[in-house]
A and B are shown apart, each in its own frame.
Chain A
Amino acid sequence: MSGSNVWSRSRERLRRFPELLAQCADEAAVYGKCVAATTTGKQELKKDVCAKEFEALKTCFTNAAKKKTR
């Protein structure tokens, strides 16, 4: 398909993912450590075990996305 459609638009949005994530490296590291800790520690990996860290990451990510839109 040619022209602008929902797939090409969403693909464009997705292309910005790495640069946006790069701006939230700290929050991502904190979240990653939290999840990694569940693989070694006694705590089992259940839903929303690291919800707080993920919320921080997501807010940072959406803010970065808002900032960069023209």
Chain B
Amino acid sequence: MSCRGIQKLLQGAGSGPAAWSRTPAASCCCRLRSGPCRALSGPGSGAGPGSGSGSMNVFNREMKRRQKNWAAVLQDGHQYDYLREEVGSRVADRVYDIARSFPLALDMGGGKSYIAEHLSKEVVQRLVLTDVSQQALKLGRRSEIPTRSVVADEEFLPFRENSFHLVVSSFSLHWINDLPRVLSEIHRVLKPDGVFIGAMAGGDTLYELRCSLQLAQSEREGGFSPHVSPYTAVTDLGNLLGRARFNMLTVDVDDVQVHYPGIMELMTDLQGMGESNCAWNRRSMLHRDTMLAAAAVYKEMYGNPDGSVPATFQILYMIGWKPHESQAKPARRGSATVSFRDLAKVSRPDSADQS
């Protein structure tokens, strides 16, 4: 989400090939000894028939992997964790809201795992944690649930279908290239009557940053280029989940506003979180005049009375279930037993039920 400015620290410093392979990379690193090893790797899904629209390529996934690796090994990286912790705890709340126990759960794009620490063994018995970044998995946080970490891209889950009772994803879906495909992958690996709970940045996230940069760049350079990555709108999310054949959808929006001393601190924090922009269409240069102008515009247009500036993160939470016979279905047409005409006759709240 952040522009990298003059700091080209993450530009390929001779690190591995930028070629992005389409076979799932699954290397298993055991973190806690978790009893008998269940073979979860099924046939790779990379060769499946293309679903829906042609493959979109908005984000450079290789770059995102490097950014996450870099952020994970930062010396004082824990100071940037606040947003992920917040989102992780809210996703864990939603898991608790479901009065069930899940023998096997998957945390996609979990990085250092911000959800498991809130969950207890009664709710989730075993957890599989995936992320593109190996460093983040290695330096992950402890939780009481036996966890197995797998380095895998969210777009190519190396798991057999119908394996998980619960799939969670916190704050990583906004970097996915082909979201419809990922949602159908999640649908595939879920057991029938399994649930998917996800949280992603959407819609209006960082609109203040985007607008300030746009105005400053227009005034200083005569045009502007995108510096903040594109997000999914709330309205599209319901359609996407429906297309992936999820049932009983719930989508809600949460606005988290964080106050920063200025634009530079905001951008540094975004970088430290591993949320730097990795869209292909980003410009790698931000002129220092534009930076100065953007800082002034941000403070003037959005600043608080006490001198700080707000940054909005609009988090979209989604819950979807894999269809199963036990789930409630809409009633058949013509099966009504009471008519709306009788509504007027209802005088006391505990009399006939309205249907």
Q: Which residues of A contact B (CB under 8 A)?
A: 1, 7, 10-11, 14, 17-18, 21, 27-29, 31-33, 35-36, 38-39, 45-50, 54, 57-58, 61
Contact = CB atoms under 8 A, between A and B. Distances in A.
Contacts of B255: none
Interface stretch (B127-135, B136-144, B213-221): B213-221
Contacts of A10: 6-7
B222 interface: yes
B73 to A, nearest CB: 14
B6 A32 contact: no
A47 B216 CA distance: 10
A17 B42 CA distance: 51
Contacts of A54: 219-220, 289, 292-293
A18 B6 CA distance: 15
B301 A14 contact: no
B6 A46 contact: no
A57 to B, nearest CB: 6
Judged by DSSP, the binding face of A is: helix
Contacts of A58: 289, 292
Judged by DSSP, the binding face of B is: helix
B219 A49 contact: yes
A62 to B, nearest CB: 10
A68 B222 CA distance: 32
Given A18-B261, A36-B300, A7 B220 contact: no
19 contacts: A14-B7, A14-B264, A17-B291, A17-B295, A21-B292, A21-B296, A29-B296, A31-B296, A31-B297, A32-B300, A35-B219, A35-B293, A36-B297, A36-B301, A38-B219, A46-B218, A46-B219, A47-B219, A49-B219
Contact of B219 (A18, A28, A48): A48
Contacts of B265: 18
Contacts of B216: 35
B9 A18 contact: no
Interface in B269-311: 289, 291-293, 295-301
A67 B298 CA distance: 25
Contacts, number: 82
A6 to B, nearest CB: 9
Given A7-B7, A18-B261, 8 more contacts: A7-B9, A17-B291, A18-B264, A21-B262, A21-B295, A31-B297, A32-B300, A57-B293
B8 A7 contact: yes
Contact of A47 (B8, B221, B291, B295): B221
B99 interface: no
A47 B297 contact: no
Contacts of B215: 35, 38-39, 45
Contact of B220 (A14, A32, A47): A47
A45 B216 CA distance: 10
B298 to A, nearest CB: 8
A36 to B, nearest CB: 5
B299 A29 contact: yes
B5 interface: yes
A32 B296 contact: yes
Contacts of B222: 46-47
Contact of A35 (B261, B262, B297): B297
B219 A61 contact: no
> A-B pairs with the 9 shortest C-beta distances?
A32-B300, A47-B222, A28-B296, A32-B296, A31-B296, A45-B218, A35-B297, A17-B264, A32-B297
